[in-house]
């Protein structure tokens, strides 16, 4: 989506890129709102079923690696979004931030589940992030822009 948006600007100039930015921003917003819905449904289902996530070493390693990688990617995307004034790129950066936070929640919940038997902590932690997804998804969808993007 972002490659398409930037390609439009390169090929057709600023006038065409405004429309592409609007479309890309709405797609990014829709993806964030869809992710929020998924997190709510998955967390609710796990709470209903009273089941936590199962532990695996490969899963833990990938999840641990995701935290700094997503932080780095998000920071770079936010910087570029600010320079370009791109709501679409900001929405994409928020997806990376969310991935990093969800990874942190997963690592903490796996540890809490293993140490204390808190099967519910992953779902509750995931639900705590939903507000960020909804807030940023709405901003991207409606075309509102924060001070960092303006």
Pairwise CA distance, residues 33 & 148, whole Å: 21
Domain ranges of the chain: 2-142
Pairwise CA distance, residues 106 & 60, whole Å: 8
Are 93 and 126 spatial neighbours (Cβ–Cβ below 8 Å)?
no
Select the CATH number that applies to the domain covering 2-142 from these four: 1.20.1510.10, 3.90.1150.10, 3.40.309.10, 1.10.645.10.
Answer: 1.20.1510.10
Nearest to 25 by CA among 97, 80, 93: 93
Q: Render pLDDT for 68-121 as a digit per residue (tens, 0 to 9).
A: 999 999 999 999 889 888 888 888 888 888 889 889 988 888 888 888 888 898
Are 89 and 80 spatial neighbours (Cβ–Cβ below 8 Å)?
yes
Contacts of 55-60 spanning 24+ positions with Cβ under 8 A: 55/110, 55/113, 55/114, 60/107, 60/110
> Residue 144 above 70 pLDDT?
no
Q: Render pLDDT for 12-29 as a digit per residue (tens, 0 to 9).
A: 776 667 777 888 888 888
Q: What is the pTM of this model?
A: 0.72
CA 78 to the chain's CA centroid: 12
């Amino acid at each position: 989506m972002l490659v398409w948006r930037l390609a439009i600007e390169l090929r057709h100039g600023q006038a065409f890129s405004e429309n592409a930015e609007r479309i890309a921003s709405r797609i990014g917003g829709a993806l964030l709102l869809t992710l929020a819905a998924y997190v709510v449904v998955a967390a609710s289902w796990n709470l209903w079923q009273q089941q936590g996530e199962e532990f695996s070493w490969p899963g833990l390693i990938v999840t641990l690696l995701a935290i700094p990688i997503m932080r780095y990617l998000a920071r770079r995307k936010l910087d570029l979004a600010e320079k370009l004034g791109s709501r679409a790129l900001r929405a994409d950066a928020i997806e990376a931030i969310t991935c990093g936070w969800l990874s942190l929640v997963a690592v903490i919940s796996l540890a809490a589940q293993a140490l204390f038997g808190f099967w519910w902590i992953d779902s509750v932690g995931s639900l705590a992030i939903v507000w960020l997804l909804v807030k940023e998804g709405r901003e991207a969808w409606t075309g509102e822009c924060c001070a960092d993007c303006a």
